Amino acid sequence: MFCEVIAGGNGTAGEETLVVDESDVVAFLDIRPLFPGHLLIVPRQHVVTLDQLPPEQLAPLFGVAQRAVTAMQTTLGAQGAFVANNNIVSQSVPHLHVHVVPRTKGDGLKGFFWPRKGYRDEAHRLEVLHTLRDALA
């Protein structure tokens, strides 16, 4: 679906929804936005998940996300933005995409879209901390 949009086909986002069209990245309006201005930012290169994106493509992808946040604040009156990337679980389109959603206080969006689950105890928290720290070192 997103590959059609990138190729200029008749995907769910036609020219009337395309916001950014650059050599490595496109951004278009979400067809089911949380709020007006909700963007999907997509690398031209087809990858399914963020960990598959070549490192040199991170700056173009998140550079557009950063510019989108600024634009939403200066042109749409947003006070901030929610930036998210889903990964496999409930990812509706198997192509990497970053959501940038304009936010204002009192807009009705409450926290995240899922229930929060904490750590069993302090030992569990420390175990997770050290596991991730070691993996990312």
pLDDT tens-digit profile of 43-62?
Answer: 999 999 999 999 999 999 99
Mean pLDDT on 69-79: 93
Query: In this predicted model, what pLDDT tens digit does every residue of 86-136 receive, in sequence order?
Result: 877 777 788 999 999 999 999 988 766 666 677 788 898 888 777 877 887
The pLDDT of residue 79:
97
For the chain, state the CA radius of gyration. Answer: 17
**97 catalytic per annotation:** yes
Right CATH number for 2-136 from 2.60.40.2250, 3.40.50.620, 3.30.428.10, 3.40.50.280?
Answer: 3.30.428.10
The pLDDT of residue 23:
92
Q: Which residue in the list 38, 95, 97, 99 is annotated as catalytic?
A: 97
Q: Distance between CA atoms of 52 and 58, rounded to whole angstroms?
A: 11
The pLDDT of residue 10:
47
Query: In this predicted model, what pLDDT tens digit does every residue of 7-37 receive, in sequence order?
Result: 775 455 555 678 888 999 998 888 888 889 9
DSSP letters of 86-118?
Answer: --STT-SSSS--EEEEEE-TTSS--S-SS----
